[in-house]
Amino acid sequence: MKLGGEPRGIVASGWVTLGVYRDRHWDKMKYAKGQTARYVDLHWDTLLDPDVNIFPRARLGDKIYSDMCWEPRASGVRIPDEVAVQLEMDWALFLNRPFVVNDFSYADEIDVAKNYVEGAARQITVNVYERSAEARTVCINHFGLICCVCGFNFEKAYGKIGSGFIHVHHLKSLSEIGKNYRLNPIDDLRPVCPNCHAMLHRRKPAYSIDELKQVMKRRK
């Protein structure tokens, strides 16, 4: 958020890649006294030129935004979930890019945090990288909302209720991923429809996208 002199408003967006940690203080006087400050590491997905065009501060006084303090005098202010969702939508419209639906569960997904009795386990066809809202957004903003296997588009088929909906598939199997692995949403993820996503995971290791395309081609 750019405050102070006009123009004022949102100039960038991104997500936290590393949670809060302490490091040397940014103020030289405080650093000299041995004081530290709190930091987070960020990945920026959008950075606008504030002298050209930014999301105006005035728009944040409308409706759902009106109860939120957009000019805090301290850090640690959290945007409520319902406000954040609306802001994501308005930000996507402002940038003229699709709003990505992230609040859903895959049909074949189970909660891996729960315990299950022996014999009750099922195949898990997605992994945490495919469920990352931030990674999904970057992937879909780059590749679009069309299945990269069969070309299906939910909005074209279902209209408004299909807008923004798609799965993403992680190209690397979990066995290939080491403890220091860092996801690159453009290199490692691809948008796929739920049917193709399920078929990709019908084998271990999963079929490649090209392999599944060939399977479909042979059936025609």
pLDDT tens for 22-60 read 899 989 999 999 999 888 887 777 788 877 788 888 888
Between these two residues, 214 and 5, which has the higher pLDDT value? 214
Instruction: Specify if 17 maps to a domain.
Output: yes
Question: What are the Cα distances from residue 92, in Å, to 16, 78, 84, 101?
Answer: 19, 20, 12, 12
Instruction: Specify if 113 maps to a domain.
Output: no
Predicted confidence band at 158 (pLDDT cuts at 50, 70, 90)?
very high
Between these two residues, 155 and 20, which has the higher pLDDT value? 155
Ranges of H-type helices in the chain: 28-32, 81-95, 128-131, 133-143, 154-158, 185-188, 194-200, 209-219
* Whether residues 85 and 16 fall in one domain: yes
* Whether residues 21 and 91 fall in one domain: yes
- The pLDDT, as a whole number, for residue 98 is 56
Confidence check: pLDDT of 214 > 60: yes
Give the lowest-confidence range in 58-67, 96-105, 132-141, 206-215: 96-105
35 Cα distance to chain centroid = 35
Last residue of a domain, which of 39, 71, 95? Answer: 95
Instruction: Specify if 115 maps to a domain.
Output: no
Q: Give CA–CA dist 154/185, Å, rounded.
A: 21
* Whether residues 132 and 212 fall in one domain: yes
- The pLDDT, as a whole number, for residue 175 is 63
* Whether residues 143 and 207 fall in one domain: yes
* Whether residues 90 and 133 fall in one domain: no
Last residue of a domain, which of 75, 95, 115? Answer: 95
Which among 185, 192, 186 has a CA at the least distance from the CA of 151?
Answer: 192
Q: Tell me the pLDDT of the chain averaged across its residues.
A: 77
What's the structural domain count of the chain?
2
Predicted confidence band at 209 (pLDDT cuts at 50, 70, 90)?
very high
Mean pLDDT, rounded, for 7-17: 80
Last residue of a domain, which of 70, 95, 120? Answer: 95
Q: Give CA–CA dist 165/161, Å, rounded.
A: 8
* Whether residues 168 and 214 fall in one domain: yes
- The pLDDT, as a whole number, for residue 125 is 38
* Whether residues 88 and 151 fall in one domain: no
Predicted confidence band at 190 (pLDDT cuts at 50, 70, 90)?
very high
Q: Which residues contact 3 (CB under 8 A, 6 or more apart)?
A: 57, 71
Instruction: Specify if 141 maps to a domain.
Output: yes
* Whether residues 30 and 80 fall in one domain: yes
Instruction: Specify if 108 maps to a domain.
Output: no
* Whether residues 150 and 199 fall in one domain: yes
Instruction: Specify if 3 maps to a domain.
Output: no
Q: Give CA–CA dist 37/102, Å, rounded.
A: 33
* Whether residues 212 and 136 fall in one domain: yes
pLDDT, tens digit, 9 for 90 and up, residues 79-137:
887 888 788 878 877 877 655 545 444 444 333 333 333 333 333 334 445 456 777 88
Q: Give CA–CA dist 64/75, Å, rounded.
A: 22
- The pLDDT, as a whole number, for residue 148 is 96
Q: Which domain covers residue 41, as residue numbers? A: 9-95
117 Cα distance to chain centroid = 33
- The pLDDT, as a whole number, for residue 111 is 38
Confidence check: pLDDT of 21 > 70: yes
Q: What is the Cα Rg of the chain in Å?
A: 21
- The pLDDT, as a whole number, for residue 181 is 67
In DSSP terms, which residues pair with 130 in a beta bridge? Answer: none
Instruction: Specify if 138 maps to a domain.
Output: yes
Give the lowest-confidence range in 49-53, 63-67, 126-130, 164-168: 126-130
Which among 66, 56, 139, 43 has a CA at the least distance from the CA of 94?
Answer: 56
* Whether residues 86 and 143 fall in one domain: no
Instruction: Specify if 120 maps to a domain.
Output: no
* Whether residues 137 and 81 fall in one domain: no
Between these two residues, 119 and 190, which has the higher pLDDT value? 190
